[in-house]
Amino acid sequence: MSFEHERLLSHVNGVWDDTIVPTLVDYIRIPNKSPAFDADWEAHGFMEEAAALIANWCRERPIPGLTVEIVRLEGRTPLIYMEVPGSGPGTVLLYGHLDKQPEMTGWREGLGPWEPKLVEDRLYGRGGADDGYSAFASLAAIEALEAQGLPHARCVILIEGCEESGSYDLPHYIDHLADRIGAVDLVVCLDSGAGDYERLWLTTSLRGFVSGELCVSTLTEGVHSGDASGIVPSSFRVARALLDRIEDVASGEVTVEELSVAIPEDRIRQAAEAARILGESVYAKFPFQSGVRPVLADPAELVLNRTWRPALSVTGAAGLPALADAGNVLRPQTVLKLSIRIPPTCDPARGVEAVGRRLTTDPPYGAQVEWRNTEGASGWAAPPLADWLEESIDLASAHYFQGNPAAKMGEGGTIPFMGMLGEKFPRAQFLITGVLGPASNAHGPNEFLHIPTGKRLTACVAEVLMRHAERGGG
């Protein structure tokens, strides 16, 4: 049967409208926070509830030979494993996750993390865009091909429950399922971002991260600030001084050499092209306070800052009482949670060690300083695109995004699974994309899924799967 891209999109739109959106509404209501944010996730049962909801929807799809299984390893989050037999050689691995970030404050009136709300073409609520839609979109793409009798390779779909916690459960499942997964020649990941909603965006790199807690202690207990200030060094001031060892306070540049790499020339060119397409929206998409400007004026440099340069964020603090409880006390300690995004090819273990040396060596006033509860995750840099894949994504983008060719850009976030797969399947091609476009605000308040982009992206995945099969696999 000949390929009709308009018919394919029509089928995809129908699946989204009839079943995907209503099921996503139910999914958003489940507070299945990732284990890092819900230590009692197993007892609460929300992860199992979400996995069952998704698996049940998948089992009902009219796809010949589809098998759906919730795989469980003791003490680990569940993983949905699916297989669809193919009409040609090769294996495609499609990946997503079902765990969610915590609630976060600041949701607009009428919106909330566990209260789905459809406003025009946006579905608000936690986890719809990051990344609950992925299982539905993966099977809808395969179903659309089956409806036209179009070819696709054998497909393996993995939906994990630990991505927002660093995917520490996933390697155990990959090893457990290695024989069933087999050799993979194309990886499709739907957990990434989009520069705009006007074209298909291909993610070419992901940053890794280094994180930990900087604990500074100068007293064994709090004391009256009128008695001690000016004599006892403030733990907060010591922490400020230590941060200056790893970050230039004026520019935000991270100064730890081990956290920087030489940026490849092709990524510099991609950043320039992405900046040309996006212009001021590179930064205008963020909810700046009135009068606040970005750290640099050049959009191309901002793209590189976000994708290939390290950056420090202080994401939490302890030892600071709430304002209502803040008496005139010189506090005994200050603890800051540090999150440093690192370039795609940076070694996170080396970075953790280097940051620790900077923070703990010869601290001011002999303060007690700890660099503790550290973590590191590798980034990922995509291999060169095969000619067939580059052509396929451009054709698909033009078919479903009003004639616009695809665009390429690195992303600032981390998907640990990508580095793992890159090592396991060194000859595989990668289609890393997603619906997280401007203002979609994954991890923050007012997260939304842009439904038209979800539909178009699903159709693009279907067309790439077809073209992969037509050429006989990867």
pLDDT reported for residue 421:
82
Q: What does 78-145 look like in DSSP terms, one character per residue?
A: -EEEEEE--SEEEEEEEEEE--B----S-PPTT-BTTB-EEETTEEESTTIIIIIHHHHHHHHHHHHH
The rounded distance, in Å, linking the Cα atoms of 370 and 41 is 29
H helices then E strands: how many in the chain? Answer: 16, 18
Residues in a beta bridge with 101 = none
Give yes or no for a contact between 388 and 467, defined as CB atoms under 8 angstroms apart.
Answer: yes
pLDDT in tens, the chain (474 residues): 568 999 999 999 999 999 999 999 999 999 999 999 999 999 999 999 999 999 999 999 999 999 999 999 999 999 999 999 998 889 999 999 999 999 999 999 999 999 999 999 999 999 999 999 999 999 999 999 999 999 999 999 999 999 999 899 999 999 999 999 999 999 999 999 999 999 999 999 999 999 999 999 999 999 999 999 999 999 999 999 999 999 999 999 999 999 999 999 999 999 999 999 999 999 999 999 999 999 999 999 999 999 999 999 999 999 999 999 999 999 999 999 999 999 999 999 999 999 999 999 999 999 999 999 999 999 999 999 999 999 999 999 999 999 999 999 999 988 877 888 888 888 899 999 999 999 999 999 999 999 999 999 999 999 999 999 998 776
Q: What share of the chain is helix, strand, coil (3-state, %, to 5)?
A: 40, 25, 40
CB atoms within 10 A of CB 384: 10
Q: Which two tokens stand for residue 281?
A: 């929206």
pLDDT reported for residue 289:
97
Q: Which domains does the chain have, with CATH numbers?
A: 5-206+379-470 (3.40.630.10), 208-264+308-377 (3.30.70.360)
Cβ neighbours for 464, distance < 8 A, ≥ 6 positions apart: 188, 389, 392, 393, 396, 431
Cβ neighbours for 150, distance < 8 A, ≥ 6 positions apart: 1, 3, 8, 466
Angstrom distances, CA of residue 72 to CA of 36, 77, 79, 81, 138: 19, 7, 7, 10, 22
The separation between the first and the last C-alpha atoms of the chain, rounded to the nearest angstrom, is 23
pLDDT reported for residue 210:
97
The per-residue b/e assignment along 237-257, b for 16 or more CB within 10 angstroms, e otherwise, is ebbeebbeebbeeeeeebebe
The rounded distance, in Å, linking the Cα atoms of 84 and 221 is 62
Closest CA to 56 of 93, 5, 19: 19
Q: Which two tokens stand for residue 51?
A: 């996995």
3-state SS class at 325: helix
